Homo-oligomer: A and B are copies of this chain.
Amino acid sequence: MKKQRLSKKVGLPPGSAFYTGSKTGNTVINMLVYDDENFQSYENITVEKAIQLQGENTTNWIIVKGFNQSEDLQKLADHFGIHPLVMEDIFNVEHMPKVEDLEKSLFVTLKNLTWGETDQLIESEQISLYLGQNVLISFEEKDNNIFEPIFERLQAGKGRGRVRQEDYLCYLLIDHIVDNYYILLDHTEDQLEDLEKLLIDNPTNELSHSFLRLKKNLMLLRKTINPLKEEIRYLSREDSGVISAYTRQYLGDVYDHISFIIQSIDSYREMIASMMDLLMANNANRMNSIMKTLTLVSTIFIPMTLFTGIYGMNFDFMPELHYKYSYPIFMSGLAVMGLVMYIYMKKKKWF
């Protein structure tokens, strides 16, 4: 993913709906209108058409993908009374996840995370949900069909979704995004297990990169999910105008999932720290054993070499050189010397 310049917006007047992401694809508006009996889906419609399709006794879900035609989106915002600051948050794809309880509407912005198969890094896409009177508008940065499974489930009439209002639909979308995080937890756990094996088998260069990648993923995951925790808890506890008591119960379940994910992230982080420590200890240990070998060899052979050097000197008067048994005696001496040093080191538990 290309790097987002955070400072892009500096100098613009506040409340300017400025899209901070990379400009790709046009804005596409789809819509779903259903109640427990009927189900209608419209693709690639205009804003005017969407406004006109909104039924009073049906559940209305307007799906906006891509932010390029911001004039159209401005019309949408004007019709449904979305505050300029909210529109700014929708367009600012670097925004932190948050839940904002406006008086008669609810604004949720969160990140859908997917696993990047090629670089093993998590990719992030911003999803915003605006729950107004009799309408739910979802804003997706890219055209990734992330809500496809929910779409299909509603169409098939499975689950409790069809007989429920927009607030339950809103829960369904949040729950779907949070459920996706579990996939990332699984990937992370796989990587962690691979690392644990590598740690024992020891090709350290591989390890460093994997560690950094894993840490980056966990940091992104935590950054994405942490701000949600308290705000989803708030939604599931407090009586707000837009969320029914029925849906609140289900949001409590989402809160449990988020808590579990955060707890898992924390224990993965701790695990990584422990493994890092062990890596250091293993490194030091291997170093020790390498140095022991070097010292062993040097300590035994260097003194011996000195003695051979002595009897390789060319002094005229070296009486030992001329005795008949000098050579065998010298060789035995050398052998004894080597043996003694070997035993000494063995005793000092050097190897």
Given contact pairs A276-B277, A291-B291, A302 touches B301 in the complex (Cβ within 8 A)? yes
- Judge if A3 is at the interface, Cβ distance under 8 Å: yes
Chain A, residues 304-343, CB within 8 Å of chain B (1/0): the string is 1110111111111110111111110011001000000000
* Interface size bracket, A side: 35 or more
- Interface secondary structure of A, over-half rule: helix
Q: Which listed residue, B5, B13, B283, touches A281 by the CB 8 Å rule?
A: B283
Residues of B contacting A275 with CB < 8 Å?
212
Contact present for B278 and A280 (CB under 8 Å): no
Give the residues in chain B near A288, CB-CB below 8 Å.
Answer: 204, 283, 286-287, 290
Q: Which residue of B lies closest to A171 (CB)?
A: B14
Closest residue of chain B to A152, judged by CB? B11
From A282, A299, A309, name the one whose CB has the most chain B CB atoms within 10 angstroms: A309
Is B175 a contact of A14 with CB atoms below 8 Å?
yes
Tell me, yes or no, whether A49 is within 8 Å of chain B by CB. Answer: no
Closest B residue by C-beta to A327: B315
A 201-224 to B, binary, CB cutoff 8 A, 1 in contact else 0: 000110111011001100100010
Q: How far is the CA of A13 from the CA of B164 in the complex (A)?
A: 14
The reply to whether the CB of A270 lies closer than 8 angstroms to some CB of chain B is yes
A36, CB-defined interface residue at 8 Å: no
Question: Which of A24-32, A52-60, A122-130, A259-267 lines the interface with chain B?
Answer: A259-267
Q: Which of A171, A175, A282 has the largest number of chain B CB atoms within 10 A?
A: A282
Do A318 and B312 touch (CB < 8 A)?
no
Find chain B residues with CB under 8 A from A281 CB.
Answer: 204, 207-208, 211, 276, 279-280, 283
> A275 to B281, alpha carbons, bound, how many Å?
12
Q: 9 closest Cβ contacts across the A-B interface?
A: A308-B309, A13-B159, A311-B313, A294-B295, A283-B284, A7-B182, A312-B312, A315-B327, A7-B183
- A13-B153, A293-B299, A317-B325 given; 16 more Cβ-contact pairs under 8 Å: A6-B185, A6-B264, A14-B250, A15-B250, A85-B250, A85-B252, A88-B253, A204-B285, A215-B274, A227-B259, A276-B281, A281-B283, A288-B290, A312-B312, A313-B314, A314-B321
